[in-house]
Amino acid sequence: MNATPETTAAPVGGASAAQGDVTRRDIEAVERALIDQSARGPVLTFFTTAIFWLLVSVVLGYIASKKLHSPDFILGPEWLYKLLHIRSIVNPIFEHLTYGRVWPAYTTAMIYGWCSLAGMGVATWLIGRLTRVSIKAPAVLQFGAWFWNAGVAVAVITILCGYNSGLEYFEMHRAARLCLFIGYLFIGIWGLILFRYRRQSTPFISVWYLAAAFFLFPWFFGTTEVLSSMPLAGVMKNVVNAWYQNGLFNLWLGCIGLATAYYLIPKVINRPIYSYNLASIGFWSWIFLGGLTAMTRLSGGPVPAYLVTLSIAASILMIIPIATLTVNFVRTMKGHTGLMASSPTLRFTFVGTIFFSIAAALNVFSALRSVDSYTHFTSWAHGQLHLVTMGFFSMVMFGAIYYITPRLVGCEWLSRTFMKLHFFGTAYGAGTIIALFLFGGLATGFVLNEPTADKMGFYNVDGIANAYMPVKTYIGYVLFGGAQLIFAFHFLLMRLRIGQPAGEPTLLETPGEGH
């Protein structure tokens, strides 16, 4: 009943290893290789472009972060610009790149560029694997991927040039939105077609999450697009915006990330999910409650009070999916945590799920009105954003890319040192950025709530509320960015087929080594 495609494909016990089983296993291995081969083109396009946007977003994030503590700064060596006589070109460009333009460009590149593209790439591969259907016309997916990329490029460039819709995380120009939507239709409909022709009779829990993500995203995106162009009464646009943001993080990124974690963790440790009943409860409560927690973002604002109250109640009820998901992941991993030392996929993915639990728990915590009065209007919200995108989602995606890419290109990752450095930089860089956003937010909150706090420097560039910012820029973003540079280089080598010979996966540590 609870058997998964993975456990049937690779039984642990050797007692029933009869002749017929071996043959079936061989057929399945060939079948999997064929499915992988059909997904190769589009999935690699998704990954490559996603990693490009990851690098773009890290650079923009660094600039945005630095602009807050030194608003006049100019990126790069000024003496070089002087030497090349391009100072008169470079300076005006950087003058235009104020925080108000770079920050939305950064979040757009990160959410729609890196996160969404990587997520769709992993999802494409996962759907192929889970439904056991090979992709018939990969060119359609490729086309969708490039359309989506064009949308992100238009969005980032227009925002940097000074276009903004005024809706947070939905800032992009209408042309960019159209590109994203058309691109999505090519990708998303393909996913649903694969699901329709699935050959796996019992859907794996990951499939539910992917179905939810792929089905809900166009509804949220399209509804927001339609509503934002309608003449609604004043604050309704803010309500729609908060609702969209919530759907984007909980039901688009959240569902894809959870689907990936639910696939990878059991797969790597070669053991089924701890409890399918828990997974089922977690899934339904997540998608029903996840759509109702939106309005804590507008707490205290000029919106009907019951909206905020309803969202606070839903946020508190979110304890149910969070607890079931966390228990399920931890219990599945129980006794296998040692594998994290050697498997990069498991290390990234499991740390990602830990970030997920922290992010979700903090959402519950800061929905409480007494906490919210200290965290509202501060960088705490940015901490939550980075917990979801940089902590949870990116970590899980890295794990998936480490798992999937060797199966597509036909060789293994070249260097375990690169992987270790990547993990180190990502975990500590993202951790630093998130922690400083959160604690900086709390510090600001205490000053903000103190009406005589002017002397404590709420407004000042080097005041108490701002003192943490250089650390975030110079340690957080530099560590994180350096790690992503190594990762991008490593991925490039893989695409050039420079790596270890196929067969044995590259591990962080050979089992038995060390201790």
Partner 1 sequence: MQKPSILFTGIFGAFAVSLGAMVLIPHSQLASLQPQVQWDEGANSPSDVYPQKRSVVGRDVYVAEGCFYCHTQQVRDPQYGPDMERGWGSRRTVARDYLYEDVPLLGSQRLGPDLANFGWTVKVTQKDGTEKTVSMWRDEHEDDPKKPAERNERWIYKHLFNPRAIFTDSKCPPYRFFFEKKEIGEKPSPNAVETDGKFEYVPTHEAERLADYLLSLDRTHELKESPTVIKPKEAKK
> Of all helices (H) and strands (E), which one includes residue 500?
strand 500-501
Question: Cβ closer to partner 1: 8 or 373?
Answer: 373
CB 349 within 8 A of CB 261: yes
The distance of closest approach from Cβ of residue 460 to partner 1 in the complex, given in angstroms and rounded to an integer, is 4
> Of all helices (H) and strands (E), which one includes residue 412?
strand 411-412
CB 102 within 8 A of CB 510: no
* 3-state SS assignment for residue 508: coil
Question: Cβ closer to partner 1: 228 or 432?
Answer: 228
Question: Cβ closer to partner 1: 428 or 446?
Answer: 446
The distance of closest approach from Cβ of residue 359 to partner 1 in the complex, given in angstroms and rounded to an integer, is 17
The distance of closest approach from Cβ of residue 162 to partner 1 in the complex, given in angstroms and rounded to an integer, is 4
Q: How far apart are CA 230 and CA 194, in angstroms?
A: 35
The distance of closest approach from Cβ of residue 500 to partner 1 in the complex, given in angstroms and rounded to an integer, is 39
The distance of closest approach from Cβ of residue 78 to partner 1 in the complex, given in angstroms and rounded to an integer, is 16
Measured in whole angstroms, the distance separating CA 94 from the mean position of its chain's CA atoms is 29
Question: Cβ closer to partner 1: 449 or 510?
Answer: 449
The distance of closest approach from Cβ of residue 209 to partner 1 in the complex, given in angstroms and rounded to an integer, is 10
- End-to-end CA gap in the chain: 39
Q: How far apart are CA 322 and CA 400, in angstroms?
A: 22
Question: Cβ closer to partner 1: 228 or 484?
Answer: 228
| Residue 103 identity | W
Torsion-angle region of residue 3: left (phi > 0), alpha (psi -120 to 50) or beta? beta
CB 487 within 8 A of CB 430: no
Q: How far apart are CA 348 and CA 487, in angstroms?
A: 13
The distance of closest approach from Cβ of residue 10 to partner 1 in the complex, given in angstroms and rounded to an integer, is 21
* 3-state SS assignment for residue 352: helix
Length of the chain: 515
Give phi and psi for 506, each to the nearest 5: -75, 120
Question: Cβ closer to partner 1: 76 or 100?
Answer: 100
CB 498 within 8 A of CB 415: no
> Of all helices (H) and strands (E), which one includes residue 107?
helix 99-108
The distance of closest approach from Cβ of residue 407 to partner 1 in the complex, given in angstroms and rounded to an integer, is 27
* 3-state SS assignment for residue 409: helix
Question: Cβ closer to partner 1: 24 or 455?
Answer: 455
Question: Cβ closer to partner 1: 39 or 385?
Answer: 385
Question: Cβ closer to partner 1: 430 or 447?
Answer: 447
* 3-state SS assignment for residue 411: strand
Give phi and psi for 388, each to the nearest 5: -75, -50
Q: Which two tokens stand for residue 378?
A: 């501060």
Question: Cβ closer to partner 1: 250 or 345?
Answer: 250
The distance of closest approach from Cβ of residue 166 to partner 1 in the complex, given in angstroms and rounded to an integer, is 4
Question: Cβ closer to partner 1: 87 or 416?
Answer: 87
CB 234 within 8 A of CB 203: no
* 3-state SS assignment for residue 267: helix
Question: Cβ closer to partner 1: 46 or 374?
Answer: 374
CB 167 within 8 A of CB 241: yes
The distance of closest approach from Cβ of residue 208 to partner 1 in the complex, given in angstroms and rounded to an integer, is 6
The distance of closest approach from Cβ of residue 187 to partner 1 in the complex, given in angstroms and rounded to an integer, is 18
The DSSP letter of residue 296 is G
As to burial, measured by CB atoms within 10 angstroms (0-12 exposed, 13-18 middle, 19+ buried), residue 338 is: exposed
Q: Which two tokens stand for residue 444?
A: 């600001």
Question: Cβ closer to partner 1: 143 or 284?
Answer: 284
Angle at 177 between CA 175 and CA 182, to 5 degrees: 95
Q: Which two tokens stand for residue 88?
A: 């008169």
Q: Pairing mode, if any, of strands 411-412 and 500-501?
A: antiparallel
